[in-house]
Amino acid sequence: MSLSATRTRWRTLAVLALAALVGAAGKDAVDRAPVWNRLTDEEHRVIVGKGTEAPFSGEYERHTAAGVYACRRCGAALYRSTDKFDAGCGWPAFDDAVPGAVLQRPDADGRRTEILCATCQGHLGHLFTGERFTPRDTRHCVNSLAMRFIPEAGLAAAFERACFAGGCFWGVEFHLQQARGVIRAVSGYTGGHLENPSYRQVCAGTSGHIEAVEVLYDPRQTTYEALARRFFEIHDPTQVDRQGPDVGEQYRSVVFTLNDAQQAVAQKLVDLLIRKGYDVATRIVPAGRFWPAEAEHQNYYFVHRKTPYCHRPVKRFD
C-alpha cells in the first residue's frame, strides 16, 4: 500500500471514529475532540509512522534562534532554545524539555528509548544518556519534521502568561518552573510606580514594587487554575507582608491577574481556602508592567544547586 493510500485510510478511520462519537455522546464529544495540524506525507511518516529523517537534513539541526520548539502535529511546547545544543549527531539535540511535555517508553527495537509528545503521542525521536555532552548528561535526539519553531516574538500569541508573588521570588520561581506545561518562569518586579527598578530599590521599600514571578505556560498542557493552586500550596498565603524570615512589603502575597477569567479563578481559590479555615492575606489585583530582575536572580536555586529555605509544598486543597 502506498503512503498516500495509507494516509487516506487513516483519515477515513478518523472520520468513522468521529461519527461514532456523535452517535454515542452527541455534538459535545466532537467539540472536545483534539484538532491537530495537517501533516505532509513526510511529516506523517515520521510522527505517525515513527520514521526518521536523514541525518543533517533537518531545518533545525543547526538552528540557533531564541524561541520554543513545539510539536508539529498538536502545537504543544516541547523544548526551549536554551535546552538546545550541538551534538554533531545530525539531528537537533536538547538536554531538557518543558516539564511533562515529553513521554519516554521502550522503543520497539528493544534497545533504545523512544520519546513522544505527551499531548498527542506523536513520535519525536529517541533519548540517550551517558554521552556527557552537557552537565545534564541527556540528549533528546529529535526529528526536525516532528517540530515547528516559534520565535521569541511569537511566544505571547502562542502561549499564555500568569503572574504570582509570594515572598522571595527565588523560591516561587523554583517551584513554578517545575510545574507541568511551564515554558519558563522569570523573577522580577511589579505593582509599583518606579520604572525599571533594581533589586536594591525594591528592597528599600520605597518603590511600591513586589518581588514576583511571571510564568509563560502552554494551555494545551496545563491550566491557569492548576498553576494558581500550586502557587497557594508553595507559600503561606496567610502571612502579611512577609514569607518566613523575609519581612517587608516586597514579600507580600499577591495574584496579579491579566484578565477577568484569571481574576475569577483566583477569587474562587481564595474563597475555597477561607471556607477551609485559612485567614487568607493574598491580594488579587490587575497586573501592571512586569520588570524582569537582574540576571543573578534568575534560576537562582538551580544555578546555586540549593533548595528554597522558606517555600515548600503543602497540600491545601485536597
Indicate which residues carry an active-site annotation: 141, 168
Is pLDDT above 70 for 28?
Answer: no
- DSSP-derived secondary structure letter, 72: T
Write phi, then psi, for 195 (nearest 5 degrees).
-80, 140
Is pLDDT above 50 for 214?
Answer: yes
Reported as a single tens digit per residue, the pLDDT across 195-205 is 999 999 999 98
Delineate the domains of the chain, giving CATH numbers in brackets: 35-152 (2.170.150.20), 159-304 (3.30.1060.10)
- The set of residues, in sequence order, having a beta carbon less than 8 Å from that of 314 and lying 6+ positions away, is 233, 234, 236
By three-state DSSP, how is residue 219 classified? coil
Is pLDDT above 60 for 13?
Answer: no
Q: Which residue has the higher pLDDT, 11 or 100?
A: 100
Average confidence (pLDDT) over 247-263: 96
Cα torsion angle, 219, 222, 226, 232, sign: negative
Reported as a single tens digit per residue, the pLDDT across 288-303 is 999 999 999 999 888 8
How far lies 301's CA from each of 39, 79, 84, 177, 231, in Å?
Answer: 41, 21, 21, 11, 17
161 strand-pairing partners:
216
Is pLDDT above 80 for 25?
Answer: no
Is pLDDT above 90 for 17?
Answer: no
- DSSP-derived secondary structure letter, 252: -
**Rounded CA separation 294/227 (Å):** 24
Q: What is the residue-averaged pLDDT of the chain? A: 90
Neighbour tally for 165: CB within 10 Å? 28
Tell me the pLDDT band of 29, cut-offs 50, 70 and 90. Answer: very low
Reported as a single tens digit per residue, the pLDDT across 146-174 is 999 999 999 999 999 999 999 999 999 99
Tell me the pLDDT band of 33, cut-offs 50, 70 and 90. Answer: low
CA angle, 95 then 217 then 273, to 5° = 125
